[in-house]
Structure 1
Amino acid sequence: ALKEANNFEDEQSRLSLESNLTFVAAFGLEDPLREETVKTVQELQGSTNVRILSGDHRETVIKVAGELGIIDGSNPEDNVMSGTEFRQICSEYSCLTTNPVDGEPTFDFKGEQGSQQYKANQKAFKDNLKTKICALYRASPEDKHMFVALQKKTKAVCAVTADGI
């Protein structure tokens, strides 16, 4: 669609801009997974929990996770979550803190390490998210950092690779 516009900063101008348009064309793009990616994930899945943490749209993440065998595409709601939803759930039992080793911001469970509160929050993460989430979509860099940091706090060994699906 094509329409000339000078200013569309407010809601009214946006509505005006999006009205009286003529559909001209649609394009579909496919960016297939590399063969070595599929093979690598299949090899890892025997001994590793492979997860996708992506800023991409939900449908893209579900398709890729299904093609890689990370999720069963028949019911993705059980294993796929938005970054926003993940962050909201995690805020109940985790918080932003400072890494004592390098002084960088990181995430940890609420409560003093070793306390009952800390252990309860760690257990809540394990029970509700750690093994159930196979893919995050529309995840921000902060969501990805939170996911990995909290995994590590449950004694999981984590490796992160690539940027982009």
Structure 2
Amino acid sequence: MSRLNQIEDWQQYQDPNNVSVDRVNRSKRIIREVPIEEDGSNYNNNFNSSVYQPEVYKLLLRDFSNNYCYAYEYNDPLRFIRESREETFTPLKIKLGGRLRVKPGAKVINGVIYLDNSFCQYLGLIDQDKELTDNLNTGIVQRYIEILTEGLTS
């Protein structure tokens, strides 16, 4: 997703009445253009499964010794992210600071963990980590907008 599209998504959560594009039925999908071939063929043909690439989430993980590493979805989509019922009031699917148990057997290549549902277990937000999760999630919308617009102003 482009940086401008990401900024618009974050701005929707900051002030839904001040978004620069029209939203259809208050959903998160935006119609920016209708791709119609020159021969007038139906645009639905452009959205077949061979063209569509699903989102792949990149996670920043920290262990108890304050070592950081990245993790990517591998093989199957992570259910704890995609099926989350948690209301975050942000474009993020889950709140930051939750615990994730990486099970033995997860692939690690060049210091990056490749996760699938069989090698991880999401433990969620733990009361013991309340200070951390509050710090990570407070003001997150404004922080992300600032990060995304930082490179655009120069």
Higher relative contact order (CA 8 A, sep 6+): 1
Higher strand fraction (1 or 2)? 2
**Given the two structures, how large is their TM-score scaled by the length of structure 1?**
0.21
**Given the two structures, how large is their TM-score scaled by the length of structure 2?**
0.22
Higher helix fraction (1 or 2)? 1
Larger radius of gyration: 1
